[in-house]
Amino acid sequence: MSAQKKKLLLIGSNGMLAQQIASIMPAKYTPTAVDLPEFDLTDRAQVLSVVYALQPEIIINCAAYTKVDGCEAEPELAIRVNGAAVGYLAEAAKKVDAVLVHISTDYVFDGEKKTPYVEEDQTNPQSVYGHSKLLGEQAILSSGLRKYFIVRTSWLYGPGGNNFVETVLRLAAERQELRIVDDQVGTPTYTGDLADAIFNLVDADPSHHPSPYGLYHFANAGQCSWYDFAIEIISRYKARGGQVKAARVKPIKTIDYPLPAKRPAYSVFDKEKYLAATGANLPDWQKGLDRYLNLRDVLKL
């Protein structure tokens, strides 16, 4: 007899990461996907009711208010979606004994460090977005839920959403010169690799790591500035036969491109805890970019 499939509730299913999770989900899961307008994560009664009715074994929360500068203009909404609503999910997961997977961000740090951030490093968000995401983490930790994975990631891009790769390719097709910040350093992370990482954690062999639950940092391997990333995007796109108008990419400083929300100057993650828990490989960020550009070709984006 075949093993019974596990029920999985995917929240924020229309988003960039959730679409990738749905596309690579192992066959042993039976997914239910929910998103606005039918499902409102900020409605506690609805969250409890849906989770109780479905009785999922796994809940993956990809829903978030991710417009970093928008959060500065709408702090109450950001805190409701990224903070309080995550607490409702943790409460619901605890009631039905589900594993909760929640995605967080490098923005919980101030970016002042010069070496990769480990999970135990002191948080110090510098923006409403970072503050609201930290509140979400804290809501899980204070809920009493034992079976959870909080996965912090950085510089996420992939199909099905606005992202830096698409912005660079669009501007490179329109302009002679691009001006890109070179004094913010981090790691671009392909949604396909993060989706793999989530299932690597959820499906981790208990004999390999008896209690894998907790907080993890995940991004692709390596690091670069936004300027370096833009150069690589254009170079690899052109190597595939892509046409661009841009003849130059000019490095600029953060101060030359002011935005409402402060960005971390340094947000490289140490991924040793993830590697120890899963025994998985960690693809370089350049390989992640290649995978995305390959997929763009297939999807004709």
Query: 140-143 — which CB contacts under 8 Å span 24+ positions?
Result: 140/86, 140/87, 140/90, 140/100, 140/102, 142/87, 143/87, 143/90, 143/91, 143/94
Q: For 4-32, what is each residue's pLDDT tens digit?
A: 899 999 999 999 999 999 999 999 999 99
Q: Is residue 237 part of a domain?
A: no
Q: Is residue 245 part of a domain?
A: no
CB 18 within 8 A of CB 12: yes
DSSP of 234-259: HHHHHHTT------EEEEE-GGGS--
Q: Read off the pTM.
A: 0.96
Q: Is residue 301 part of a domain?
A: no
Q: Is residue 33 part of a domain?
A: yes
Is omega for the bond preceding 159 within 30 degrees of 0, making it cis?
Answer: no
Q: Is residue 42 part of a domain?
A: yes
CATH number for position 114: 3.40.50.720
Helix (H) or strand (E) holding 160: none
CB 20 within 8 A of CB 159: yes
Q: Is residue 247 part of a domain?
A: no
- In sign, the C-alpha dihedral spanning 4, 10, 87, 102 is positive
CA atoms of 88 and 282, how far apart (whole Å): 32
Distances (CA, A) of 278 to 85, 158, 159, 220: 29, 23, 26, 15
Q: Is residue 178 part of a domain?
A: no
Query: Which residues participate in catalysis according to the annotation?
Result: 129
Neighbours of 53 (CB within 10 A): 10
Tell me how many domains the chain contains: 1
Q: Is residue 120 part of a domain?
A: yes
Taking only the tens of pLDDT, the chain with its 301 residues reads 456 899 999 999 999 999 999 999 999 999 999 999 999 999 999 999 999 999 999 999 999 999 999 999 999 999 999 999 999 999 999 999 999 999 999 999 999 999 999 999 999 999 999 999 999 999 999 999 999 999 999 999 999 888 999 999 999 999 999 999 999 999 999 999 999 999 999 998 666 666 789 999 999 999 999 999 999 999 999 999 999 999 999 999 999 988 999 999 999 999 999 999 999 999 999 999 999 999 998 887 6
186 forms bridges with which residues in the sheet?
Answer: 224
95: domain range?
Answer: 6-162+187-222+267-283
DSSP code of 108? G
CB 274 within 8 A of CB 138: no
Q: For 284-297, what is each residue's pLDDT tens digit?
A: 999 999 999 999 98
